A and B are shown apart, each in its own frame.
Chain A
Amino acid sequence: DAKTTQPNSMESNEEEPVHLPCNHSTISGTDYIHWYRQLPSQGPEYVIHGLTSNVNNRMASLAIAEDRKSSTLILHRATLRDAAVYYCILSRTSGTYKYIFGTGTRLKVLA
């Protein structure tokens, strides 16, 4: 079954770029790749999503490998408010499961 694999934790200095990797080697052709983040004591919030091409929005960029078996969330300038758990998620268009969550990466931003 499809799943995502992420490092348990990462650290970054404030104002520097952060690259958060995700492996989804069992991804299917129509699965979307989503990234959400969860700040302490809050529900997850949307960051970005894509299907095949790289995506940019005001929060981040998403780089998707050509074979789609991995992706990278890029925060261009980390701030202290970006400290959170970042989840890489597949949304499946067929089969039993709709959203497949990885265990998440806890990002620590150092001042």
Chain B
Amino acid sequence: DSGVTQTPKHLITATGQRVTLRCSPRSGDLSVYWYQQSLDQGLQFLIQYYNGEERAKGNILERFSAQQFPDLHSELNLSSLELGDSALYFCASSEEGAPSDTQYFGPGTRLTVL
């Protein structure tokens, strides 16, 4: 158990809908990261937050947004969902958000868009 929790574990929705994925980092970690893992794209970095502020952005679509709240939990919002958004979404956390940090991954949320 990494100490990172993600909810829900599974999510099934329809195209055009909006969903919110939630992540609680390990106790004491200030930075959270979001990743998408799909069969054809592999594991891709989406976005990173540190202490409530966006720190780095990767291949995140404009239909997707994220935020980190004062209690350090984070949410990833996915809107106007398409079939291709079906994937595993992982959240990770680290102490300081530095490039040398060890990241601890949660168990993931499996999103299925029908």
A interface with B by C-beta (< 8 Å): 30-32, 36, 38, 42-46, 49, 51, 87, 91-93, 96-104
Contact = CB atoms under 8 A, between A and B. Distances in A.
A91 B99 CA distance: 5
29 contacts: A31-B99, A32-B99, A32-B100, A43-B2, A43-B90, A43-B105, A44-B43, A44-B90, A44-B103, A45-B105, A46-B102, A46-B104, A87-B43, A91-B99, A91-B100, A92-B99, A93-B99, A96-B56, A96-B58, A97-B45, A97-B56, A97-B59, A98-B33, A98-B58, A99-B35, A100-B45, A101-B43, A101-B44, A104-B43
A8 B109 CA distance: 25
Secondary structure at the A interface, as helix, strand, loop or mixed, is loop
Contact of A97 (B2, B33, B58, B107): B58
B28 interface: no
A13 B48 CA distance: 38
B42 interface: yes
Interface string B46-63: 001000000111110000
Contacts of A87: 43
> Which 7 A-B residue pairs are closest in the complex by CB-CB distance?
A43-B105, A98-B56, A91-B99, A99-B45, A46-B102, A101-B43, A44-B105
Nearest to B104: A46
A36 B108 CA distance: 16
A8 to B, nearest CB: 11
Given A96-B57, A98-B48, A42 B107 contact: yes
A54 to B, nearest CB: 16
A44 B56 CA distance: 20
A43 B2 CA distance: 9
B25 interface: no
Nearest to B99: A91
A51 B100 contact: yes
The residue among A91, A92, A99 with the most chain B CB atoms within 10 A of its own CB is A99
Nearest to A49: B100
A101 B56 CA distance: 15
Given A99-B33, A99-B45, A45 B58 contact: no
